[in-house]
Structure 1
Amino acid sequence: MKFDNMFRNLKLRDRIILGYSVPLLFSVAIATVVYYNVAKVESQNEREVLGYEIVRNTDMIALSLARLQRAARGYLLKPDPQNISNFREAETLFNKSAQYLQEKVEVAAQKNRLDRITELGNESIQFNSNLIDLVRTGKLKEATQNYKSLNRQTLNQEIEQVLDEFEKDEILIQQQKNKETKEALNTLNLVVILGTLLSIGLAIPIGLWIASRITQAINESVNAIASSSTEIAATIEEQERAASQQASAVHQTTTTIDELGVSSRQSAEQAEMSAKGAQEALEKAEEGSSAVEQSLQEMANLKQRVEEIASKILNLSEQTNQIGSISTLVSELANQTNMLALNAAVEAVRAGEHGKGFGVVASEIRKLADASKQSADKINGLVADIRNAINSTVIVTKEGTKSAEQGELIAQKTADAFASIMNEISNVYESSQQISLNVKQQATAIQQVASAMNSLSTAAMQNASGISQTKQGTQKLNEVAVNLKSVV
């Protein structure tokens, strides 16, 4: 009675765990015994495999000793290097097998025999190696006598006897291990069969008793679930109607915000296009201003060059005046020279015969004076033409200077006008950029609101769908409770 009350106070999970704990404990105990026996069988199998390997390596020792004796005998009959190679291979095989047996053999008597086998084998190797050395040094007769001696036969007989004893004892040890393995397998089978039967015998009555107690608890829980599910269904119907209305309102709001988002995006695009147009106009105005500044610079350069030309023309006019003065002086000198030549000719005529040479010189000087006067007249004519040309050039230069000054004034006014235009366009561009930025921010904000409303709409629809599913689940829960009650 006390245990029954304690069982009633337990949860359903604890009841089921308690019901299966007893068979589980028996299963654990059986598994422990089975594990121990399986481990024992595995150990016996490993020892059996090891026994086979020990026997195989024992045979390998006998085979290696026979091979090295055969190689030594072959070298005695025919000194062939291949016999020496065979001898070395047989020696390596003997050492490898002996080393393996030294590591694996654990029985004391067998280890003693193995030590004796190793000792005798080394003696046989040394004996046959001496035979090969005698043949190598040309002592063939001595080698033949040693081979025929009784020591070799006695050594071989003792080796065969110890190997035979070692192998027979190893076979007996293996048979004993096989017997122990069979006993462990029989014990394992018995434990498995008894454990299975005992688990079945305990699980059936305990399971029936627990099932009756669990059925009673389930009946009570089913009645409570059926009553609660009816009340939940009524509440969910009211929530479903409210959720549907909420979803409809959210959908309408979302549609309106989407339209507002489209309008804001169009406004943002138009503002951005205005900003781009203002930027292009600003760039064109900057290009025009740059061109006007360049023209203004060219005008200043032109004015400077015209002034330089005027200065040079004035210098040229002064030089031309100097040339005219020199030409006048040359003409006067020619006239005076002509007069002197005329006087010299008169004096030469007076001198008579003695003045003929002087008369010729005077005549030539007169000719040169005439030529100089003619050249001076030509120079005066050219100087007059140059003066007229210089005067015309001076007039044109003054007019060019005035035109350059007027062009400079006009270019300066144009530059000032472009500067004013650039300032106004810059203000328009900055305003357009600010408007574009504001509109973009508004479009982004509207987009975020639209996204939030879409999420809210989705959540409202999911909420309505969830309530509908909850309603269906409650109805199914009621049906399951009724079915469970009928089944229990």
Structure 2
Amino acid sequence: MMNSPSSGLAEMKKLILKLNIILRRFTVLTKLILIGLLLGVPLTIMLFINLSNLLESVEFVRMEKAGVKIFRPLSALQVHLMEHKSYTFAGTASGHDFQSQIAALNSQIKDEFDKLTAASLDVGELISVDEETLSREKEYYVAPRALLSQWEKLISKGRNISDAELQIEYDKLSNDIQKLMKLITIRSRLILDPAGDSYYLMYVAVHKMPKVHDLMGSSFLLAIEDEKDTLFNSDRLSEMIYLSRSLKVNITDEIPSSISSTIDLDPEFNGELESIAQTLSPMLDRYRSEMVSLIEIYENIIRNNRSYGIEELTSLTIAKLDQSLEFTNATFAELEKVLNVAVNRTYFRIVFRLMIAGGAFVLAMIFIYFTARGIITPVTGVAEIANSLADGDIKTSKERIRALETKYLVTKGKAEKEKDEIWNLFRAIRTTIFDLEALLGEVGKAGIAVTSAVTQISSSVQALNAAINQQAASTAEVNATGKEIYSSSIHLSRTVDEVADKSGKSLQLADRGVAGLNEITGSMTSLEEGSRDISEKLALLYQKTANISNVITTITKIATQTNLLSLNASIEAEKAGEYGAGFSIVASEIKRLADETAMAALEIEEMIHEMQQAVKSGVIGVEVYAGTTRSSAGRISGIAESINEIIQYTRDVLPSFEAVSSQMKMQTDGAAQISDAMSELNTVALHTRESISEFTEITQRLEGAVVSLREVVSKFRFGG
């Protein structure tokens, strides 16, 4: 069963009351601190969430930095491996000895593997690309040590395998390096950075530059293959065109566009980093210019415009790969600067928010402390003043009021600009105490005056009581005499009323008789007029029936003529033979209808004649009845005149009875008023005597109350 809203409201009020009782156990300062803490909880939660978001941002950037740290040696490995592969296959194709260059590359690749291994040990666990994690996820083949082992095997096989097998080994190692790059990109959240400047730098360094390196290596291998093979190969040509165009799009469009976006967006995020525009942008211009020249060489090879030697092509490609790696490292360097700036600014925001929160907390505590003092001090003073007042010591209360006014510069009047309720309460208490002092002084004076007045009232009441007792005895005698007069007047008034009532009833009966005769006379007159109207209407009816007879005669003549016409029609039909058979039938029907019409007209004529006889008899009867009615109306008029004379005589006598009855009623009313007045006077006298007794008691109580009031006033101690 659900509770009603009223019961729920009652429970809520009980709960609030219990809470108020519990809060009474704490001081005002404690309550204010609790309020501050309660208000600080959601702010603390918001601060915690904000700091958590900032720490997550720091962790996000730390993972990005870890990814960049591991990605840099991987990019160098990709370039050096591409250079190693280029030297190897260029030497095979041209017969030129590149062993010194290959040996130098072997040393560089070993150094990059060492850097990769060290970086993996340092920060690999942060982005889950350390050897233990990769082994657990069955991806150990892309771990730095596994890649190093795979590289060492490739070097050891070297010249002992065919070019095709060596190509497979290079491709396998290159693919594994690219898989590790992709894994690092995903787990370090590279390319997911919300900041525009770092996003475009990562896009260039992590996504575009490895693609450019791969395109350059593939283009170089196709170029030396084309230089070695003099036969035209359309598939190789198509692939060469695709690689050349893709490389050109990346070098001349996408990478410059990304660097330009980085420069444009850099000031909007973590502040402008001048080295991006001053270092990276000029380097990009040089790199793009050099790469365009290499692309033109590849395009010339495609068009067979010029033949390049494999040695020259190899040295150009290796130089461009080194420049590409240099640009990649420069991009990574700027990216690390941007990430460092982002981390530092994030740490600054964390420290700044903590300082703001700490400062706000300290200020809140200081504000609560001074607010509590501002409440407790006047409340304590008001409580002491109230306690002194409760003890009746108005003098001490006034002294404490003056002390508070002097100490806290409290104005005596109403301060319109001050909104503090506590000091307004103090002013109200002050006004109350001074008004109470004045009131008690007036009460004391009034008590003395009331005591004197009560003494005088007591003596006057005793004299008035004796006079009232004598008046009550006299009033009782007069009241008895008045009642006897009133009884006699009532009996005489009733007798006169009976005579007047009977005379009035006789007059009413006579009036009714005259009214009846007048109605009969009117009825006779109306009857006579009605008889005259009926006679006239019957005469008019007799004339109308005569007119109808003329119409019937005309109808009979028409029927005779119709009969003759039908006979002629029959004769003509006989002459027509079989063609007039139809007309013969119609003529017969017309003859039959004409005969029926003549018969009906004769019957109507006979009925009209009988009606005329009846109307004539009615006219005679009505005229006889009208004469009888006129005679009766004359006799009734004579009777009405006689009754009117009787009524007039009765009406002349009736006012005399009414005058006597009116005078008797006036006399009776006067006697009743005298009797009532004496009764009321007697009652008033009795009530007056009782009231005087009560007034005496009230006077005695008033005297006692004045004594009590003077005792209460005497408890208060007044001062100047």
- TM-score, normalisation: structure 2: 0.24
- TM-score, normalisation: structure 1: 0.34
